[in-house]
Amino acid sequence: MTAVENPASQQEDSPTYRPSPVQRFLPFAIAAVVPFILGSTTENVNFWWKALITVVVLAVVARMAWVWTPRGELTHREDMRLWRTPSDRSWAAVTTFGLLVLPFILASDFTPPMDFPWATWFAVVNLVLIFAMGAAAFNLLVGYSGQISLAHVAFLALGSIVGGIVGVQWSGGNMWVALPAAALAGAVVGAISGLPALRLKHLYLLLATFGFHFVMMLVWREYLQEYFGFVGIRFKGENSPRIASWLHWLPGIDPDDNGEFIITGQFRWYWVLMPITVLSILFMVNVVRTREGRAFAAVRDRDVSASLLGINVARSKLLAFALSSAVVSMSGVLASFYIGSRGEDSFNVQTVLNYAIIIVVGGFSSIQGAIFGSAFFWFLPEWFKWAREELWIVRDIDFLSDYPSEIDLAIKGFLVVIILMFKPDGLAGLWKDVKGWIGRSLARRGP
């Protein structure tokens, strides 16, 4: 097999091949089952053995997904699949496996050398999940639909408010009711907050939506004074979300001594946050590749020619606002219950900028980029902290440990500038290059 520059031409050149349905799903089935087997055998198995098995399974699954991919002239149905090329399928299988095996690795009692911050990582991973969901929705609106909005944090606050009313006050810690309620409220309020977009564009729209942020803060303050007396909303303790008793038969759910299954601790939270984040991101990806999502992109690029294709530009813009705000509000509910308490200072202007950094660094108008951006945003400070404390030479520089947060910010800012200068499409673009490079070098070596 010769070096192939472009996966599309690879498909045309190669002979027609169709995997059987079993072959198509087998790699994903293995990737979904093996982590639970690894996770349930806790006793008497050395961590390193498990690590070895993990790596081997990863490689096998990646290879299987790669080989068992339809090749040759694709039918429409095959062409429409989310994971179409061998490399897409391979990475999808690896990601499935990784997402499922990660909590078991982080929850194990293995301690990495040099005090690498294993324990704090779990919390960071969960925060990345929450932020990835919010940032993906933000990116769908700002990057993909081109409606510059700064009302993002207002919808996190709306999520907390709905979580406070529906989840805490009405149902005493029922997050499952609060989530759809927040989605509904977010969609309605989001469409209203998008009304300025019908007349304004770019910077003017930015200012109008920023005004909405302060309106929401005003609501928050009033609400707090009325119901909670300026302290903030507590989502912890007796208000923690739990799994209802009629669901306790589910595998992996062992009620505590008092007969309740409270979602607490990083491990349990991971299994709540990960599926919700993955499903909502898949939802947005599906929207983007179907009719209304295409209309978002059309309105972003040229609204006049979009309207001459029969797209109701006003409706399309409001839909984008509603969808984005609904998902952001849901991520606000998750963040409230996960973090445990929310006050006025949880929703400052800084947070809007953080989300802006996330989507710009991750890759504008790429939903994948939002995930990379949030990982960048949350992991970097952890690495810096670790480097300051443990890494030789670096740990001896007093200056760095005297001004930790300032140095963190400076390095982060510097990295943002570097990424924007050399990779304007952000980490998602970088990832695409890396993927292409790996694919090419594999193709060169041959199967």
Binding residues for other proteins (CB under 8 A): 8, 76-77, 79-80, 283-284, 286-287, 290-295, 297-298, 301-302, 304-313, 319, 323, 365
CA–CA separation, 93 vs 25, rounded Å?
A: 10
Decide whether 77 or 445 has the Cβ nearer to other proteins.
Answer: 77
**Minimum Å distance from CB 83 to other proteins?**
13
The DSSP letter of residue 46 is: -
For residues 212-250, one letter each, b for 16 or more C-beta atoms within 10 angstroms of the residue's C-beta and e for the rest, the string is bbeebbeebeebbeeeeeeebbbbeeebbbbbeeeeeee
Q: Are 382 and 123 in contact (CB under 8 A)?
A: no
CA–CA separation, 420 vs 371, rounded Å?
A: 17
Decide whether 39 or 186 has the Cβ nearer to other proteins.
Answer: 186
Q: Are 139 and 362 in contact (CB under 8 A)?
A: yes
The DSSP letter of residue 75 is: P
**Minimum Å distance from CB 364 to other proteins?**
10
**Minimum Å distance from CB 285 to other proteins?**
9
Q: Using DSSP, state whether 342 is helix, strand or coil.
A: strand
CA–CA separation, 74 vs 16, rounded Å?
A: 9
CA–CA separation, 193 vs 185, rounded Å?
A: 12
In single-letter form, the type of residue at position 97 comes to: F
**Minimum Å distance from CB 72 to other proteins?**
14
DSSP letters, 39-103, are HH--TT--HHHHHHHHHHHHHHHHHHHHHSS-BSSPPHHHHH-SS-SHHHHHHHHHHHHHHHHHH
Decide whether 243 or 297 has the Cβ nearer to other proteins.
Answer: 297
Decide whether 37 or 309 has the Cβ nearer to other proteins.
Answer: 309
Decide whether 222 or 301 has the Cβ nearer to other proteins.
Answer: 301
CB atoms within 10 A of CB 16: 10
Phi (first) and psi of residue 71, to 5 degrees: -125, 165
Structure tokens, 58? 């990863």
Q: Are 19 and 70 in contact (CB under 8 A)?
A: yes
**Minimum Å distance from CB 64 to other proteins?**
24
**Minimum Å distance from CB 279 to other proteins?**
10
Decide whether 107 or 313 has the Cβ nearer to other proteins.
Answer: 313
Phi (first) and psi of residue 133, to 5 degrees: -65, -50
Decide whether 46 or 75 has the Cβ nearer to other proteins.
Answer: 75
Structure tokens, 63? 């290879």
CA–CA separation, 99 vs 270, rounded Å?
A: 10
**Minimum Å distance from CB 153 to other proteins?**
24
Q: Are 372 and 434 in contact (CB under 8 A)?
A: no
Q: How many helices (H) and strands (E) does the chain have?
A: 18, 4
**Minimum Å distance from CB 230 to other proteins?**
39
Decide whether 129 or 323 has the Cβ nearer to other proteins.
Answer: 323
**Minimum Å distance from CB 146 to other proteins?**
10
Decide whether 202 or 248 has the Cβ nearer to other proteins.
Answer: 202
Decide whether 73 or 115 has the Cβ nearer to other proteins.
Answer: 73
In single-letter form, the type of residue at position 334 comes to: L
**Minimum Å distance from CB 212 to other proteins?**
22
